[in-house]
Amino acid sequence: MILQVYQTLRDKVNFICEKLKLSKYDNTTGRKLKIGIPQIITLALYKQTQGIAAKKSIWNDFKIILKYSCKTLVVNMNRRALLALLVIKILFRNNRQNSHLVKHTDSTDLPVCLSKNANHHKTMSGLASWGHSG
């Protein structure tokens, strides 16, 4: 299951990286990086989609595939965070265009203001009502 999710993300990220020509952000001088930009972004997206808290957990999950240290992974994930944000933006825009007409929301209580300020708070005056907790 882990590899299936990773491979799906990898295919999408590779496609986006090719279209955006993110290879121009590779180092042109000095030592060549052990990990490519698409792989860094894929691992970062995998971390976020699976709700993994630490970057070291990613390295532990993929240390058979990854031939470098945990520090190298963490440094490169931090260094390429803005490029990952660009890829996420494109994925969100694509998902928005292909989204279903019906949307779902939850009914979690959201505290808007203190009870003492309730008479002056007009943001949700037509929609919100008083409940058991205020």
pLDDT at 11: 92
- Predicted confidence at residue 111, as pLDDT, reads 66
Query: Per-block average pLDDT, block size 10, for the chain (134 residues)?
Result: 84 89 80 83 89 89 84 89 88 82 73 67 69 63
pTM of the predicted protein model: 0.65
pLDDT at 132: 65
- Under a CB-based contact definition with an 8 Å cutoff, are residues 131 and 124 in contact? no
**How many Cβ atoms are within 10 Å of 20's Cβ, its own excluded?**
14
Token pair listed for 128: 């919100």
Single-letter residue type at 73: L
pLDDT in the model for residue 67: 82
Give the pLDDT confidence score for residue 106 in this predicted structure: 72
